[in-house]
Amino acid sequence: MFNPGSYFREVGRELKKVTWPSKNQTIEMTILVVGVSLIIGAYIGALDYIFQKLIAQALLLR
């Protein structure tokens, strides 16, 4: 049967084993994730714009 007290004790024990990143590591990784997300977003946006123009041009040529 599920014992909430035992569960939370084990969770506490496991959390003590975790190696948490430093403040600088957290900031660096956050900047990296935001930067990569912006680059990928711009790339996908550019492709979307190009394909939109190509499809519009193809429909006009019909």
Average pLDDT over residues 54-62: 87
Answer whether residue 47 shows pLDDT above 80.
yes
Tell me if 21 sits within 8 A of 29, measured CB to CB. Answer: yes
Per-residue pLDDT tens over the stretch 17-38: 999 999 999 999 999 999 999 9
Is residue 53's pLDDT more than 90? yes
Whose tokens are 């996908």? That residue is 44
Residue 42 amino acid letter: A
Per-residue confidence (pLDDT) for residue 48, from 0 to 100 = 98
Distance CA 24, CA 3 (A): 38
Average pLDDT over residues 35-59: 96
How many degrees, rounded to 5, is the angle at CA 44 between CA 43 and CA 49?
Answer: 100
* Residue 51, CA distances (Å) to 4, 20, 54, 61 in order: 54, 44, 5, 15
Instruction: Return the pLDDT at 42.
Output: 98
